[in-house]
Each structure stands twice: as C-alpha cells, then as structure tokens.
Structure 1
Amino acid sequence: MSDLSAGMLLVATPALLDPNFSDTVVLLLDVDENGALGVVLNRPSPVPVAEVLEGWGGVVGEPEVLFRGGPVSTEGALAVGMLRTPDDAPVGFREVAGRLGLVDLDTPVELVDGSLVGMRIFAGYAGWGVGQLQAEVDEGSWYVVPALAPDVFRADPTDLWREVLRRQPGELAWHSTRPHDPNLN
C-alpha cells in the first residue's frame, strides 16, 4: 500500500538509516503537489508543554510534554487534535482527516478546551519536497498504512512502531517482531 494522503501513517522500515527517522511512526498531515508534511508520533521530549506554551498544558493529553515532530523548524510547534464530535470544530481547527486536525496555537485556549478528546503538540515537523516522499516509499524506506486515532494520542508511544505493524494484514505484520538490530538474527 502506498496511498500517500493526509491521515495515513509512515512506518520506518529497517532500510531507513536516517537517525531522524529510525523506528519512527509519522502521521501525514498534508500531501499535495508541493510535497508532504507530517509529525513523528513516537518521540516524546522531556519538556513539559506548560513550560513552553502557557495555558496549553491542561489541554494536551498524557504525557503533557512536547513531542519531537521532526527535524524541520524545531523552534516552531504544530498541534494535532481530535474533535469530540464532527460538528464541534472550534475556531482555529483545520481538518486533516475526519475528526483529526491541526489546532492553531494562536487561538485562545478557552475557545478550544472542551471541544477536543485529544491533543498533542509537536516541536518541529517532517517535510518532503515534490516527489521526495514517494521516492523514499518506492526505495523501501517507509511502509504506508492507515492510522487509528489512538495512534496519535497514546499515553506511552514506546511500542507504537511494533503495534502499528502488528495490526497490519499479511506479511507486513511479521516485521513487528524483528529485533532492533537485524544482525542479531
């Protein structure tokens, strides 16, 4: 499967040697004729959201820390949220896929709080130029699979890579059991 579209997951394969993306799961937020943009879901930082973005600490889910979204623009932040109901979109919410969307962090917190069932804030993002991501998929660097809402907001993302692969159909699920160092086989 290589349906590169917003709301899909990129799961790093063993062939992907870039340390920025080794064993990562990336949520695609935007894919168009100009390239693609996503955030790494399984790299929490030790930095509490409340220390960096006053007021947002009480809105994000556990753990209440910034996540390392990727190597691009690490001084900036992107917020991904899940609407409580499809008709409950607050000011500053832009749909990505279904109830999942981007939350504008310039929006007053009180206009957003209560309308989301989950929110996570990412420092930086992953970005690809025109054709770059498709070339990486074609060379075997990424598995492209459907996302589930719990993937984005899980309290402990440590085993996200394995769990996403484990639920895939056919032989792709087998990859979830590979050792971190394949040379140990």
Structure 2
Amino acid sequence: RDLPEYWMHLCAPANATLGDLDDFLRDIWLECCGHLSAFTIEGTIYSISPMREYEERGMKIRLGDILGPGMKFYHGYDFGTTTDLTLRVVSELEGEAKSKSMQLLAKNDPPPIACESCGKIATLVCTECIWAGGGWLCDECAREHECGEEMFLPVVNSPRVGMCGYAG
C-alpha cells in the first residue's frame, strides 16, 4: 500500500544504529506482534535476523556510516501484511550528538477517512474488507456491518492502520 498521507520528520544522531531507527519506527507507527523487519539501502538488506545465505546484514551499523543527505531507502515491517515505508535523508546537521535517542520533529495530522456507508468520519476498519479497498466505518454503521465486531480495528494515525492486530 502506498500511503503518502502518512509522513513524519525525525532527527537521528549519526551514531544511532539502523536497529535504533527500527525501534523508533516500531514505537511510533508499526509494532503490533513482534514481526520481523528490514531496511533496504542501495540494494543491500539489513535485517533484525540476517540470513547470511541471502547476503543480508545486521542492523548494528551506525546511520552515519551508511546514510547521507539525499539518500532514499526503504523499511519493511511484517512480511505477511507488510507495511513498507520509503525513507529519505533530507539533510545533515553539524555538531556533536549528546545521545543515540531520536526525536520526532513533525508528523501528519490524521487523514480524514470517510465511512463507506454514510460519509461520516470512520473510527473503525474491518480487517476483512480492507483487502478489497473498503471496510472504513463509523461507530453507528459498524453495528450493521456483516463481518462482525471481532474483525474491527480502530482507525489510527499510522500507515499500519487495519493491518494484523495494529491498534496504535
């Protein structure tokens, strides 16, 4: 799914690792069930559990050693219901990092998603119907939805909305 309405700007120290960035993305947008994840940078895969036979590498590499201004790279979380993120290094700041912690600088406002039945703002998504491009429901219309409430997840401000067990 390509969901450009979800975005964030963050500041990451050069001495932070890909693993630190993975943790940050999981905490803010992705974590639901402890799935595997990986970065793809210039054709090389960096994984939490690297598979040497596929020439994957680990995530202990420092950001400053592998990324630079203008670079685009990718992150995938959960290789069953994958959430793919496109990441870009906007710029580099001079100075000494005081810690390895990352900072969220800005994030999108929740996109208004309309209930497919009445047009009000959706508060729930049906995890079955989302695969056909629908399933967005307000509380009122959800009561009448044929799939039943056990299929609902809350609508949250994340590109992982409606996937697996992600509830924000």
Q: TM-score, normalised by structure 2?
A: 0.29
Q: Which has the higher strand share?
A: 1
Considering only CA atoms, is the larger Rg found in Structure 1 or Structure 2? 2
